[in-house]
Amino acid sequence: MSELLTGAQIMCRTLVDAGVEVMFGYPGGAIMPFYDALHGHAGLRHILVRHEQAAAHAADGYARASNRVGVCVATSGPGATNLVTGLATAHMDGSPVLAITGQVGRPMLGRDAFQETDVVGVTLPVTKHNVLVRDIEDLADDVREAMAIALEGRPGPVLVDVPKDVQNQKAEYRSRTEPLRRQREPGPELLDDATVREVARLIAEAERPLLMIGRGVIVSGAYAEVRELAERTGTPVITTLLGISGFPQAHELHLGMPGMHGEVHINKAIQAADLIVGIGMRFDDRVTGNTATFAPRAKIVHIDVNPAAIGLNVPVAIGIVGDARRVLERLLSAVTPRTCLPWREEIRRLRHDREELFTGGLSPEVILSALADVTHGRCTIVSDVGQHQMWVAQRYPFQRPNTHITSGGLGAMGFAVPAAMGVRLARPDEPVWAISGDGGFQMNMAEMATMVQEGIEVKLAVFNNGYLGMVRQWQQFFHGGRYSNTPILSPDYVKLADAYGIPGWRVKQAGDVTEALRQANATPGPALVELVIEQEANVFPMIVPGGSLSEPLEAAPV
């Protein structure tokens, strides 16, 4: 039976029917009918953020943690443009986010109306799909189609822009006859048997093979398959920044992160490898350094669901377009068991203990191992962007799938705090820690109010070094030590947290870290720990931007 609903009510019904339970947003003139329909809505929870950027990051965090569509909402003009960084972040990292934006009424379109922005135009390059709804008859299907596109193949953000008069107009609500997809489905399989056999042969014949996995492994849930492939063929596994937690850190075949801040033996292994099987990753420049010198001896097999990624950055011997899990299932049926012991031994010999460059005080190692102890590894870590992000990636012992979430491709400072709110709503039963620097934390720290108002239990760790640390490091190394606009003043974070009603701890000494983290972890509700670290600590090793993986810096250049 059909009934007459307003466009705003149709939007709510469509979202509920699609399995949406929570959304993040901020109201304004052009989206008011939708907010009116949300008022007292039993099935849809709306989280009022303090800035629309946070709504997009929170929806992204929710999407990454749940593999479902994360939803954010904003008004026209400034509300919608504030979403752009979050959409670009989700676009780069392949996260299924639906943005719903209000637009000026249809008669006002193109007339420089108050708060009119061509949002479809602005977001075109940072969304997988976007649409301006001009006809109420299309509204429900436009929302459904956008959500389906967000989830299919390589996931990504989509945007539906709804003029205010369409939200107010009445029309019949038609539910769909076929059930709506709520989770990602892998899509069609185009892999032929000859290619499967050829890849299996390359793996069998290689003397120095490596698996290099990215976020595609996490998105497709291919943990078991990657592990089986690695174990059956004795192949060591490298995890890119976004592939971290796609393979257990403590596994004997696990190597770690490659590239700009990868450990020396990992990059040396890449340079010595004769076969690299890249799975669900895109050979980003932070992974490859100078592509002309990257893995000079290796044949590259590249498996990715996104056809455009294959051969984009490095030449590949074999490219396979497909979902990581599906492709690996096929490959597993064809590979020959082997152990690769000489190669594993060779890599072991390349490993050397790096001299600790922290001269005193609190080191990231101490902090991150204390956090692992306190949480028993049972937490999700959402890191921001900068030195602390690299320390987390290098040192936190991630054991469980998809427990490391960060802005990899865009590297958007300010991501961690709001994204962690989204993660927590998707994972209400486990601790969620947002780890930020003092710069990135100050970008979205107003979200502490959101956490308190909405009862979202996020634990906040702020690495305070008094600098925009990663930029300062580059200034020290490559700009003659001129610290142009990188010293950054912080408020008293413990007092600030207190002002929001959040308990806070400040830690300056290694001996106090565990207790502060333990208390913050155990105290119900949001909590903050400020970690005062050495001001000019650097992230090592480092490949200079555009440099070769064969030439790591292990100390500051003089």
What residues line the site for ligand TPP (CB under 6 A)? 384-388, 411-414, 437-440, 463, 465, 467-471
Q: What spatial distance separates the first Cα and last Cα of the chain, rounded to whole Å?
A: 76
Q: Let me know: does 237 contact 257? Beta carbons within 8 Å.
A: no
| Cβ–Cβ under 8 Å, residues 431 and 378 | yes
Closest CA to 487 of 474, 471, 498: 471
Where does 356-453 show beta strands of DSSP type E?
Answer: 380-383, 404-406, 432-437
Task: Single out the catalytic residue among 24, 108, 164, 441.
Answer: 164
CA distance 227 to 222: 9
Cα(146)–Cα(142) distance, integer angstroms: 6
Nearer to ligand TPP, 24 or 415 (CB): 415
Q: Give the rounded distance of the alpha carbon of 447 from its chain centre.
A: 19
The residue number whose beta carbon is nearest to ligand TPP equals 437
- Choosing from 9, 11, 23, 52, the catalytic residue is 52
Q: Cβ(306)–Cβ(166) under 8 Å?
A: no
Q: Is 58 helix (H, G, I), strand (E, B) or coil?
A: helix
Q: Is 508 a catalytic residue?
A: no
Burial of 89 (0-12, 13-18, 19+ CB in 10 A): buried
Find out whether the peptide bond into 33 is cis, omega within 30 degrees of 0: no
Nearest distance from residue 269's CB to ligand TPP, in Å?
27
Give the number of other Cβ atoms within 10 Å of residue 271's Cβ: 18
The 3-state secondary structure of 3-36 reads EEEEHHHHHHHHHHHCCCCEEEECCCHHHHHHHH
Question: DSSP E strands: which ranges in 44-179?
Answer: 45-48, 70-74, 97-103, 129-132, 158-163, 170-173
Nearer Cβ to ligand TPP (34/540): 540
Beta bridge partners of 72: 24, 99
* Catalytic, out of 108, 448, 470, 542: 470
Minimal distance, residue 309 CB to ligand TPP, in Å? 22
Smaller CB separation from ligand TPP, 171 or 461: 461
Measuring CA to CA, which residue among 213, 220, 217, 350 is closest to residue 272?
350
* Closer residue to ligand TPP, CB minimum distance, 233 or 465: 465
52, 97 contact by CB (below 8 A): no
Minimum distance between the CB of residue 468 and ligand TPP, rounded to whole angstroms?
A: 4
Residue 164 known to be catalytic: yes
To the nearest whole angstrom, how small is the minimum distance from the Cβ of residue 471 to ligand TPP? 5
| Smaller CB separation from ligand TPP, 487 or 511 | 487
Task: Tell the smallest beta-carbon distance from residue 3 to ligand TPP (Å).
Answer: 45
Are 82 and 109 spatial neighbours (Cβ–Cβ below 8 Å)? no
CB of 59 to ligand TPP, least distance (A): 18
Tell me whether residue 30 or residue 531 sits nearer to ligand TPP (CB atom). 531
Which one of the listed residues 3, 114, 172, 554 is annotated catalytic?
114
Instruction: Give whichever of 83 and 314 is closer to ligand TPP, judged by the CB atom.
Output: 83
- The nearer residue to ligand TPP, 237 or 413, going by C-beta atoms, is 413
- 32, 115, 198, 329: the active-site residue: 115
Minimum CB distance to ligand TPP, residue 410 (Å): 8
- At closest approach, how far in Å is the CB of 276 from ligand TPP? 28
Query: By C-beta, is 294 or 467 nearer to ligand TPP?
Result: 467
Give the sheet arrangement for strand 254-256, strand by strand.
254-256, 237-239, 209-213, 275-279, 299-304, 318-321
Q: Which CB, 286 or 459, lies closer to ligand TPP?
A: 286
Shortest Å, Cβ 388 to ligand TPP: 4
| Residue 253, CA atoms < 13 Å, CB-side half-sphere | 22
Does the annotation count 115 as an active-site position?
Answer: yes
Beta carbons within 8 Å of 346's beta carbon, 6+ residues apart:
208, 272
Please give the structure tokens belonging to residue 205: 């014949």
**Closest distance to ligand TPP from the beta carbon of 533 (Å):** 9
Q: What are phi and psi of 212, to 5 degrees?
A: -125, 115
C-alpha of 32 from chain center: 31
User: Which residues are part of the catalytic machinery?
Assistant: 52, 114-115, 164, 470
